[in-house]
Structures are given as C-alpha cells and as structure tokens.
Amino acid sequence: MHFACGFFKFTQYNYKTSLTLLILSLLTIYTIAPKEGWQVYSSAQDADGRCICTVVAPEQSLCSRDAKSRQLRQLLEKVQNMSQSIEVLNLRTQRDFQYVMKMENQMKGLRTKFRQIEDDRKSVMARNFQELQDKMDELKPLIPVLEQYKMDAALISQFKEEIRNLSAVLTGIQEELGAYDYDELYQRVLRLDNRLRSCMGKLTCGKLMKITGPVTIKTSGTRFGAWMTDPLASTRNNRVWYMDSYTNSKIVREYKTMEDFVVGVVSRTYSLPFKWEGTNHIVYNGSLYYNKYQSNIIVKYSFETGSVLAQRALEFAGFHNMYPYTWGGYSDIDVMADELGMWVVYATNQNAGNVVISQIDPDTLQVLKTWNTEYSKRNAGESFMICGTLYITNSHLSGAKVYYAYSTKTSTYEYIDIPFHNQYFHISMLDYNARERALYAWNNGHQVIFNVTLFHVIKTDDDS
C-alpha cells in the first residue's frame, strides 16, 4: 500500500520510520541539558564540606538567539506543512476505507450466495454461476487491502498525535528563546558577574577544610619538577611556567595558556643566569623566585627584562640537602605565596632543624618577620601557605595527609587530619595558588591540580 503526498512517496514502513526519526532527532537537538547550557561561577561550603549555595549563569553562546529562533521558525513551518499533508492523507484514507467497507459487506453476501450455489449447482444456470464466480475473483484481492487500510488508519491517527505533540514542543522552545532579548540577557549576565565579584571580595581568609582531586593536567618530564601560574596575573593572563628536574638546570619553558601547556606548544624559553635547587619555586607578579644552586640565596628573575632584579641570602637557612623534605631533592628552601603575600619556609641549626617561617618583601627579598615552629623539617612531606597558615603534609608518598597547621596570626599550631589522594604515589612539589584557590602539584612526572575547600567568613558593611 502506498500513499502519495506532493512529490514524496512513502510506504507504511518508510513514512513511519522517517517521521519517528525526525521527531527523536529534533527533540535531541533542541532539548538543552543544564550541563551544556549553564556554567558554575562559584560555590560556598560550610565547615563540614556541605554545599551552601552554587551560583550558575547561562553561557553567552545561549544568548545568541537570532539564528536559533530563525531555525525554529523554519522548522515549525515544515512541521505544520507536514501536518497538513498528513491531514490530506488521512481524509483520502478515510474515504477509501469507507469504500472498502462497502466492498466487505458485498463480499459477505456473495460468500453466502456462493455457498448456496455450491450446494445445488444443478439448480442454477451455468451462466449465472460463472458471473458470480468472476465477481468473487474480482473481490478476493480486496481482502488483504481491507486489512491494510485498517492498520493505515490507526497509523495515520498516531502520526497526527505525534505531530501535535512535536508542534507544541517547538512552539514552547520558540517562546522560551523569544522571551528575552540578547542585549537584556547580556546585561543581566554582566550585573550578575559584578555582584559575584563583589561577594567574592567580601570573603575573608578561610581555614582549610578539605582537599579534592586531583585533576591530571599533563604527564611529562622527569620524576621531579615544578610548574606554576602567576597568582597576581589578570584573569586573562593564563601563562604557565615549567621547570623540569630539581637541580643542574637553568631552562624555564613558558606556555601562553593552559591549553598550550597540555598540547606542548611552547611560546618562549628562558635561560636563567644561575641554576636552581629543589622544586619549590614560584612566579609572583611577573617574576620568578627560586633558590640558587648550592646556596641559601633567593633569586628574583624578571621574565620581562630577562635579568635578575634582586638576590639575598636567607640567614642561617640550611641548603643542599641539609634540611630537605622527606623526599630529598635539595628541597631545603621553599618559596611560596598566598593571599597575604610572599613567604619562605626552611630550617636552621638555631631552631634544631625545625621548620622556620619567614614573610619576605617581594621587591627586596628582605625578611619582614619570622616564626619558629617545633615541627621537624626532615619529617615534612611538603608544605604550603593559605591565608597566613602553614599546612604541612606527613609524607610525600601514598597515604599522605595534611597533618600539621601553624597560624602566623596567632603563633599557635594544631594537629589536623585532612587526607588527599596521592594518585601517583610521589609528590615533589605542592604549592597553593591564591587566584585559582587550588593546589598545584608535581606527582611522579604528572602535573596535577587539587581543589581546596575553605571555611570562609563573609564580611558585612557593619564589620570593623
């Protein structure tokens, strides 16, 4: 059985399958899942790590409604034309169905007469018998046609219902997209962004509550090394610096973006005037700070000018594996930064090899203030500063956790228990980035990032 609609010809199987696939594909294309249409701006969590609130906003790509609206209008018109064609097809089918029903009634009557004729052929003239036989042969092919019409009528009814549902869905999508003007949505996003930044500005320094991850960014280099971004750079500046190995090298590689770093597209290579020791370097406000080879001297190197801006010896600080972290690697002197400025962590004979914390001036490298702790530097796996508090891990191997915290604000310490997943079993660099609020790590030849959860207190206008 075939139906003709304009220049298109469909069998029962073809037009059923084609229309069903069309409906499914349209619903798939124009159903916007939250994860594809929305992006998370920020979230806040309480002391137990439970989410308090999450700020989401539509991606800017969703705001360009003109092309999509035009496509939806065209699509809706096509669906409406299809609906009209199916309505014509339905009327034709109903008309033919009525005709065949009449034929069915005639056939039933003929069957009865034919049986009577078969019972008593001798009483009927041969001519009448042949006439009835010919009529029966003519009507026999209509029997499967009748059954097909019954199926087609039900199918047409189903198609009409699906077209009505699809039209309603498309109309709803069109109304939803047309409800907002692009400029209006763009201004709303800008206002939301400003409010979010204002709220983030009121976040005071927080206490470390949880470490999640890691996310593996890349696998490269030797077992030991360092990689970093600048916490004081603008949000548009996402340059990455890469320093492979812990000694006997002066080469620093720069990548314009994190994407370039992942695929290995180097934008610039620097040759430092002095070799470095350890892996505990940082980039801060456009300059590299590192421990000069076989010395307790800290060097400030400018990437912009390609020259040393300052260098200063750290008085009494042990170096060249005198007081390293547990993994060794000349990791005696650890330069780091957080929300409150620049710090250096090391150990001295005067403090019996225990950890010493000094805050230093980023310009002159002069020590501003020093705190002596009672935690052995050689027993520390790694350490990092967040909001003026030094956090020390108990190991660089698997099963590591943040074990000790020393607050420079109160000059007090506490033993804590914050586990984290040491996925590749050997950490040789762990530094906090205040801009990203994340921990950068070099984990056995893998460059990874850990997310941190901080307990924040939000300032109000009434706070002094």
More confident site: 126 or 330: 330
Q: How many domains does the chain have?
A: 1
- Given a cut of 60, is residue 183 above it in pLDDT? yes
411 found inside a domain: yes
- pLDDT of 416-451, one tens digit each? 999 999 999 999 999 999 999 999 999 999 999 999
Cα separation of 155 and 161, whole Å?
A: 10
Q: What is the CATH number of the domain that holds 335?
A: 2.120.10
3-state class of 356 per DSSP? strand
Q: pLDDT band for 101, please (50, 70, 90 cuts).
A: confident
Cα separation of 441 and 425, whole Å?
A: 12
39 found inside a domain: no
- pLDDT of 216-236, one tens digit each? 999 999 999 999 999 999 988
- Given a cut of 90, is residue 262 above it in pLDDT? yes
Q: Are 426 and 396 in contact, with CB atoms under 8 Å apart?
A: yes
Average pLDDT over residues 101-129: 69
What stretches of 327-427 show up as alpha helix (H) in DSSP? none
- Given a cut of 80, is residue 272 above it in pLDDT? yes
- pLDDT of 386-396, one tens digit each? 999 999 999 99
- Tokens representing 427 are 């950490």
Q: Tell me, what's the pLDDT at 423? A: 95
Q: pLDDT band for 124, please (50, 70, 90 cuts).
A: low
257 found inside a domain: yes
Cα separation of 257 and 237, whole Å?
A: 8
Average pLDDT over residues 385-412: 96
Cα separation of 128 and 165, whole Å?
A: 56
Q: In what order do the strands lie in the sheet with 225-228?
A: 225-228, 240-244, 251-255, 268-271
Q: Who contacts 452 (Cβ-Cβ below 8 Å, separation ≥6)? A: 208, 210, 211, 212, 386, 432, 437, 438, 439
Q: Tell me, what's the pLDDT at 285? A: 97
Q: Tell me, what's the pLDDT at 69? A: 66
229 found inside a domain: yes
Q: pLDDT band for 107, please (50, 70, 90 cuts).
A: confident
Cα separation of 292 and 9, whole Å?
A: 81
Q: What is the mean pLDDT of the chain?
A: 79
Cα separation of 49 and 57, whole Å?
A: 23
Q: pLDDT band for 368, please (50, 70, 90 cuts).
A: very high
279 found inside a domain: yes
Q: pLDDT band for 168, please (50, 70, 90 cuts).
A: confident
Q: In what order do the strands lie in the sheet with 367-376?
A: 334-338, 341-347, 354-360, 367-376
Q: Tell me, what's the pLDDT at 150? A: 63
- pLDDT of 235-246, one tens digit each? 889 999 999 999
Q: Please give the residue range of the domain that contains residue 299.
A: 207-455
Q: Tell me, what's the pLDDT at 121? A: 61
Question: Which residue from 74, 90, 98, 96 is spatially nearest to 15, judged by alpha carbons?
Answer: 90
Residue 430's alpha-carbon distances to 325, 336, 402, in angstroms, are 12, 10, 12
Cα four-point dihedral sign 262, 264, 268, 274: positive
Q: pLDDT band for 16, please (50, 70, 90 cuts).
A: very low
Cα separation of 404 and 433, whole Å?
A: 20
Q: pLDDT band for 17, please (50, 70, 90 cuts).
A: very low
Q: pLDDT band for 109, please (50, 70, 90 cuts).
A: confident
- pLDDT of 280-310, one tens digit each? 999 999 999 999 999 999 999 999 999 999 9
183 found inside a domain: no
- Tokens representing 459 are 């300032």
385 found inside a domain: yes
Cα separation of 454 and 113, whole Å?
A: 94
Phi/psi region, residue 105 (left: phi>0; alpha: psi -120 to 50; beta: rest), is alpha
389 found inside a domain: yes
- Given a cut of 70, is residue 178 above it in pLDDT? no
On the CB side of 446, how many CA atoms lie within 13 Å of its CA? 15
Residue 209's alpha-carbon distances to 44, 46, 206, 416, 454, in angstroms, are 12, 9, 9, 10, 5
Q: pLDDT band for 115, please (50, 70, 90 cuts).
A: confident
Cα separation of 139 and 99, whole Å?
A: 13
